[in-house]
Amino acid sequence: MKRLVAFAPLLVLLLIAVVSAFLLLRGGERQTISDGRIGRPTPAYELPDLAGGAALTNATHAGRPYVINVFASWCTPCRAEHPNLMALHAGGVEILGVAYKDEPTASAEFLRELGNPYATVGIDRDGRFGLDLGVAGVPETFVIGADGTIKAVHRGPLTPDVIEAVILPALRRG
C-alpha cells in the first residue's frame, strides 16, 4: 500500500498530461466564430503601408469584398497557413495583410521568404487596429463585404476546408 501511495503523485501527473494532450490536440479549438462582429462595420483604420506607399484606409478597399488577414513573422501558425493564402490569392481574392505587432523589416523578410499573397500590407505595430477588430491572437482572418461590414471571422490558421466552407461563401455574399 505504501508503494501505491508513493506513486500517486506520478499517476496524477501522468493523468494531467494525458488530459492536457487530448485537449490541446483535438480539432476544432480555434474555429470560425459568429460573434457580435458579424454584420458590423469594419473599424476605421489608417495603417502605414509596408511597401512605403500611401497609408491604407477603409477607403482603399471600399466597394468590393476583400479579406483581412492578420499575421506576424514570429507566428508559427502563420507560416503553416501561408500556402493557403497563396492559393486564395491565386484564385483572385483580394487580401489585405496586417502585420500585427511586428517589425516592418521582419514582416518584409517573411513575405520575401514565403511569397506575398497580399494586395497590400498594413503595419499595425502597436496592435491598435487588431484590438479594434477584436483580434485574440494571430493568425486571424476577416471577410469584409462590399458594404464594409464584417461577413465572417476565422481565428487560427486557414485550411483548405475553412476556405471552402467559410471564406469563399462569405466573399460571394459580400
> Mind listing the pLDDT tens digit for each residue in 86-113?
999 999 999 999 999 999 999 999 999 9
Residue 140's DSSP bridge partners are 70, 155
Residue 36 pLDDT: 62
Entry pTM: 0.80
Residue 26 pLDDT: 54
Contact 171, 89 (CB under 8 A): no
> Mind listing the pLDDT tens digit for each residue in 55-69?
999 998 899 999 999
Domain definitions of the chain by residue range: 30-173
In terms of DSSP bridges, do strands 140-144 and 150-155 run parallel, antiparallel, or are they unpaired? antiparallel
30-173: CATH topology is: Glutaredoxin (3.40.30)
CA distance 121 to 107: 9
Q: Is the pLDDT of residue 28 over 50?
A: no
Residue 29 pLDDT: 42
Contact 132, 45 (CB under 8 A): yes
